[in-house]
């Protein structure tokens, strides 16, 4: 079976130089462990806010490691050192603008400064690459969406669309824990689960 391979990239000058502990990769690992019911493997990288290093890392994860999904965290704001989206667009084959639009839409429910985010979603070869926020709480909100007090979805998070996108890119069939985030795909793309 084709294992779902995920690259996690935390982009931070200070965390990569050991000034403080990286919180991005642990937040992503924890969220994926509770959200995915499909087995997966991880490739993790902690790197500085340097565009050439970001580009090289994304290319390595997709081209050499064969990742189906790459999630970055950090470096998406308007500051001069925030170059994650620029690096992501530089190595992209195609842009998926809906992901960036939806990430900002979700975040605007929590903070007005979400409009300062330059997050993008792109495709390179067989992989979907998404730029996520840097804060653990914002990472979870962006992936899961906005929920009411009963856990009902008010605004879909971006991960609801990730399994079908991976499937369309001829990657593995990915399933999620619906209590965390329900994967959406058209009826024609669904598979029956044999127990």
Q: Where are the domains of the chain?
A: 4-189
Domain 4-189, CATH 3.40.980.10 — does that match? Answer: yes
Q: What is the pTM of this model?
A: 0.95
pLDDT-based confidence at residue 193 (cuts at 50, 70, 90): low
127-180 pLDDT, tens digit each? 999 999 999 999 999 999 999 998 888 999 999 999 999 999 999 999 999 999
In angstroms, what CA-CA distances link 114 with 23, 76, 89? 20, 11, 20
- Closest among 116, 33, 133 to 79, alpha carbons compared: 116
């Amino acid at each position: 079976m084709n294992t779902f391979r995920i690259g996690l990239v935390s982009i931070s000058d200070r965390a990569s130089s050991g000034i403080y502990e990286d919180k991005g990769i642990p937040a992503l690992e924890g969220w994926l462990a509770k959200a995915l019911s499909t087995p997966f493997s991880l490739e993790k990288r902690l790197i500085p806010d340097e565009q050439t290093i970001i580009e090289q890392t994304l290319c390595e994860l997709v081209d050499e490691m064969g990742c189906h999904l790459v999630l970055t965290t950090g470096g998406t704001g308007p500051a001069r050192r925030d170059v994650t989206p620029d690096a992501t667009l530089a190595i992209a084959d195609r842009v998926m603008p809906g992901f960036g639009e939806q990430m900002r839409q979700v975040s605007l429910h929590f903070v007005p400064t979400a409009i300062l985010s330059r997050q993008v979603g792109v495709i390179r070869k067989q992989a979907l690459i998404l730029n996520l926020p840097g804060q653990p709480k914002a990472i979870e909100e962006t992936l899961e969406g906005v929920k009411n007090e009963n856990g009902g979805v008010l605004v879909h998070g971006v991960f609801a669309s990730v399994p079908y996108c991976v499937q369309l890119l001829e990657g593995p069939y990915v399933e999620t824990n619906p209590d965390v985030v329900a994967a959406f795909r058209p009826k024609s793309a669904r598979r029956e689960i044999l127990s």
